[in-house]
């Protein structure tokens, strides 16, 4: 079998989709020694190939990535005799696909649920091309049952038999041997891109309501987009001296923050999965997060939940957690990148698409 993968997501660096793709490809390289893989990209980006059945196919262009995907990629799929194309960014070639079978991952339906939180360019691309991609796809991979149900509700033409949930996963981190929960410090941690959907302005308002002058808030993540109101909210906050933004941090720095904070506060109004929740649990870090979202599917009874649209509700849960002694996080982790890669491999090998 000749498997094509659209890896243009790597050009955007440390996005959630890029991490998703990187983790699954690393696992596939280890477990699949039979199929051939062709990694298609519009420009050369670093990715370490260790499997001799894998190769990169760089197709240089000055066109935007979406035009490269729709008008150039299909001809290279045919030229390389690709059997299956995996589209991990939930958009695939729809006008002409070179005769290949398409397997598409769907991460979220935010353009339909919260369009005001989306960049205009992405909003138009997704609303136009996602329905067409779903119709072209032989198999659709929602990253959670939450997203599967949303797909079936939104797109009545879909057949549930063609939807196979293959989840994201967290890192294989383990708490260090010298970990001491008594050394946790008096600060809250928030992790994620600085953008409207992450709901950080309401988090700041909630933080201001907490009656604890010593509590700090550390916000970690790339700058994202449309964040001027967020930075203005910090600047005008009466607690601005207690709020710290660190931008993108290394994995080791992030692990240390999870190990030493009082809790992760993850107030996102909408996610397809929510990897920071699993990162926190792996480091014995309590989690406060949004109710009525996918986080309930991921964290179950192991997290404290608040109404993400109500700063008073967020503040109430923050006050609750900071006044409790640290208790070991009890979480049964059912998510694994290797398990998800095995499920992908079953799709390739069954070829019942």
Kindly state whether residue 240 falls inside one of the protein's structural domains: yes
* 60 and 160 assigned to the same domain: yes
Q: Is residue 330 included in any domain, yes or no?
A: no
329 within some domain? no
My answer on whether 14 and 131 are in the same domain is: yes
Is 148 found in the same domain as 85? yes
8 and 149, same structural domain? yes
Q: How would you write the pLDDT of the chain (353 residues) with one tens digit per residue?
A: 999 999 999 886 667 888 899 999 999 999 999 999 999 999 898 899 999 999 999 998 888 889 999 999 999 999 999 999 999 999 999 988 778 999 999 999 999 999 988 888 889 999 999 999 999 999 999 999 999 999 999 999 999 999 999 999 999 999 999 999 999 999 999 999 899 999 999 999 999 999 999 999 999 998 878 889 999 999 999 999 999 999 899 999 999 999 999 999 999 999 999 999 999 999 999 999 999 999 999 999 999 999 999 999 999 999 999 988 898 999 999 999 999 999 999 999 987 54
140 shares a domain with 205: no
Q: Is the residue at 119 inside a domain?
A: yes
Q: Which residues span the domain enclosing 84?
A: 2-169+336-350
Whether residues 7 and 150 share a domain: the answer is: yes
- Whether residue 236 lies inside any domain: the answer is yes
Same structural domain, 16 and 130: yes
Domain count, the chain: 2
Kindly report, residue by residue over 139-173, the tens digit of the pLDDT.
999 999 999 999 999 999 999 999 999 999 999 99
- 260 and 318, same structural domain? yes
Examine the domain organization and report whether 188 and 285 are in the same domain: yes
Whether residue 137 is found in the same domain as residue 250 = no
Q: CA 98, CA 93: separation in Å to the nearest integer?
A: 9
Domain assignment present for residue 280? The answer is yes
Same domain, 233 and 306: yes
- pTM, to two decimals: 0.94
Quick: pLDDT tens for 27-52. 999 999 999 999 999 989 889 999 99
**Whether residue 163 is found in the same domain as residue 45:** yes
CATH number at residue 206: 3.40.50.2000
């Amino acid at each position: 079998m000749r498997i094509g993968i659209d890896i243009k997501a790597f050009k955007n660096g440390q996005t959630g989709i890029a991490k998703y793709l990187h983790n699954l490809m690393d696992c596939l390289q280890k477990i699949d020694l039979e199929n051939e893989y062709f990694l298609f990209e519009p420009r050369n980006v670093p990715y370490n190939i260790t499997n001799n059945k894998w190769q990169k196919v760089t197709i240089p262009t000055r066109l935007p990535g979406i035009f490269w995907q729709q008008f150039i990629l299909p001809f290279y799929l045919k030229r390389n005799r690709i059997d299956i194309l995996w589209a991990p960014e939930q958009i695939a070639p729809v006008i002409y696909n070179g005769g290949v079978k398409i397997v598409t991952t769907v991460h979220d339906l935010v353009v339909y649920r919260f369009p005001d939180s989306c960049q205009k360019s992405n909003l138009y691309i997704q609303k136009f091309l996602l329905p067409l991609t779903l119709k072209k796809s032989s198999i659709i991979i929602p990253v959670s049952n939450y997203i599967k149900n949303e797909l079936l509700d939104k797109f009545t033409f879909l057949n549930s038999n063609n939807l196979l949930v293959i989840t994201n996963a967290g890192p294989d981190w383990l708490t260090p041997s010298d970990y001491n929960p008594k050394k946790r410090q008096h600060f809250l941690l928030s992790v994620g891109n600085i953008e409207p959907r992450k709901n950080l302005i309401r988090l700041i308002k909630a933080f201001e309501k907490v009656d604890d002058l010593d509590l700090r808030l550390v916000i970690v993540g790339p700058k994202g987009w449309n964040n001027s109101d967020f930075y203005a909210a910090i600047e005008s906050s009466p607690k601005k001296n207690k709020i710290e933004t660190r931008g993108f941090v290394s994995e080791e720095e992030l692990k240390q923050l999870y190990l030493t904070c009082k809790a992760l506060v993850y107030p996102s109004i909408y996610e397809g999965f929510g990897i920071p929740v699993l990162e926190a649990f792996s480091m014995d870090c309590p989690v406060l997060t949004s109710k009525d979202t996918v986080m309930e599917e991921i964290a179950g009874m192991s997290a404290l939940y608040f109404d993400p649209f109500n700063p008073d509700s967020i503040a109430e849960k923050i006050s609750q957690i900071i006044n409790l002694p640290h208790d070991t996080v009890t979480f049964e982790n059912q998510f694994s990148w290797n398990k998800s890669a095995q499920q992908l491999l079953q799709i390739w090998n069954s070829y019942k698409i």
